[in-house]
Amino acid sequence: MATRRTVLKAAGAGPLAGGLTAPSADASRAAEADVLVVVEKSGHAVGFYDTTSGQRLRTVPLPDHPHEMVVDSRRRFAYVGHYGVRMSSTIGEGGAAVFVIDLAERSLARTIDVRPFNRVHGMGIDRHDRLYALSEEKAVLLGFDDPATDVAPTRAVPTNGVKTHLFTLSRDGERAYVTGLLSHTVSLVRPHDASVPPLLATPGQLPESSCLSRDEKTLFVGARKSSSLVALDARTLKVRRHHDVGGDPLRVYTLDDERLLVTDIATNTLTVWSTDLRRIRSLQLDGTPAAVSLHPTSSVAYVSLLGANRIAVVDLDRLAVIGGFRTGLEPDSSVLLPGTP
């Protein structure tokens, strides 16, 4: 594990997160610290947090129920999908926009209207900084070739799924793996060639989250109703192996060439699995683990705990909670912005 510059406060520390903008007690230290940007879906905002102290540095209010977020390679802009309803089971038209957050100014720079493509949930960005946003209602994957300036999508491709919720993107942006909650499918979509029909597979019931192996040859999917973790060939979508996890695997992440990380919202656990689907170790958490952000140079994970309105800071080498801080209502997806040395 790489050495961290910061000393994390013990779990339970940190201020109340209900206020608006609060300047740091030590502006120079805060400017150098790692900052976690958190989408607070029922707080209807994006919050900026100093990971050393847990202090909220800034709040960016947004329209109701933002959900997923990605950041460009230069850490200049964050892009947040306007889902517009609290949960996937919530009935409603939802939102039809992408919010562009200026990370330097910590403010809402502008809003991209994507109507008629509504319930915008899954978000992705490729190594060329091209943006992708998924309309759950229309089952269409939208593309933005220059999202820093685009005022509308520059492309759109059908996914052939139903209630399409999340997707995993290859690094070059040429392949997207879209999960359909109601069709119980994974669709391999070519975002830059709509003439290629989507390739579909059924890995299990209620597939939601997925991730690619480092070599991008294997797709790992969490099938929630089937309580299973499934490995598929990333080109053919043929199932290679599957394993019963005994819970509800909400999110799946690639840690390295040999390990995966899975959040389970039935058992409130964070579990490390091998890439050949052997359980290695589990950690019991004091809240419902939603999304995770991984530190780019340290074996540290920032886990959003929905019911507890907290971030748990987890040492992945020891698989132990080493800190935490409070957030606004229902923290979900987040992105870590590493500080300066």
pLDDT of residue 312: 98
Q: How far apart are CA 131 and CA 173, in angstroms?
A: 9
Total count of residues recorded for the chain? 341
Asked if the model's pLDDT at residue 19 lies above 90, the reply is no
Selected residue with higher pLDDT from 143 and 26: 143
Q: What percent of the chain has pLDDT over 90?
A: 87
Q: Kindly report, residue by residue over 276-288, the tens digit of the pLDDT.
A: 999 999 999 999 9
**Residue 27 DSSP SS3:** helix
Q: Kindly report, residue by residue over 139-189, the tens digit of the pLDDT.
A: 999 999 999 999 999 999 999 999 999 999 999 999 999 999 999 999 999
Q: Are strands 185-189 and 279-284 parallel, antiparallel or unpaired?
A: unpaired
Q: Which residues does 77 contact at the CB level (< 8 Å), separation at least 6?
A: 71, 100, 101, 102, 103, 109, 147, 148
pLDDT of residue 307: 87
Q: Which residues does 279 contact at the CB level (< 8 Å), separation at least 6?
A: 243, 245, 271, 273
pLDDT of residue 63: 97
**Residue 32 DSSP SS3:** helix
Asked if the model's pLDDT at residue 28 lies above 50, the reply is no
pLDDT of residue 23: 37
pLDDT of residue 340: 72
One-letter amino acid for residue 54 of the chain: G
What are 264's strand-pairing partners?
Answer: 249, 269
Average pLDDT over every residue of 16-36: 50
Average pLDDT over every residue of 252-266: 97
pLDDT of residue 88: 87
Average pLDDT over every residue of 22-34: 51
pLDDT of residue 341: 65
**C-alpha neighbours within 13 Å on the C-beta side of residue 114:** 36
Q: Using alpha carbons, select from 48, 58, 66 the residue that is nearest to residue 111.
A: 66
* Alpha helices, H only, the chain: 27-32
Average pLDDT over every residue of 100-120: 98
Average pLDDT over every residue of 256-270: 97
Contact, 178 vs 229, CB < 8 A?
no
Asked if the model's pLDDT at residue 327 lies above 50, the reply is yes
Contact, 53 vs 35, CB < 8 A?
no
If one counts every other C-beta atom within 10 angstroms of the C-beta of residue 193, the result is 10
Q: Categorize the per-residue pLDDT at 330 as very low, low, confident or very high, splitting at 50, 70 and 90.
A: very high
Site of tokens 């779990």? 11
Selected residue with higher pLDDT from 180 and 31: 180
Q: Kindly report, residue by residue over 65-91, the tens digit of the pLDDT.
A: 999 999 999 999 999 999 999 988 889
Of 127-131, 177-181, 273-277, 295-299, where does mean pLDDT reach its minimum?
295-299
pLDDT of residue 171: 98
Q: Categorize the per-residue pLDDT at 227 as very low, low, confident or very high, splitting at 50, 70 and 90.
A: very high
Site of tokens 């330097």? 104
Of 8-22, 114-128, 199-213, 322-336, where does mean pLDDT reach its minimum?
8-22
Average pLDDT over every residue of 12-23: 35
Asked if the model's pLDDT at residue 24 lies above 60, the reply is no
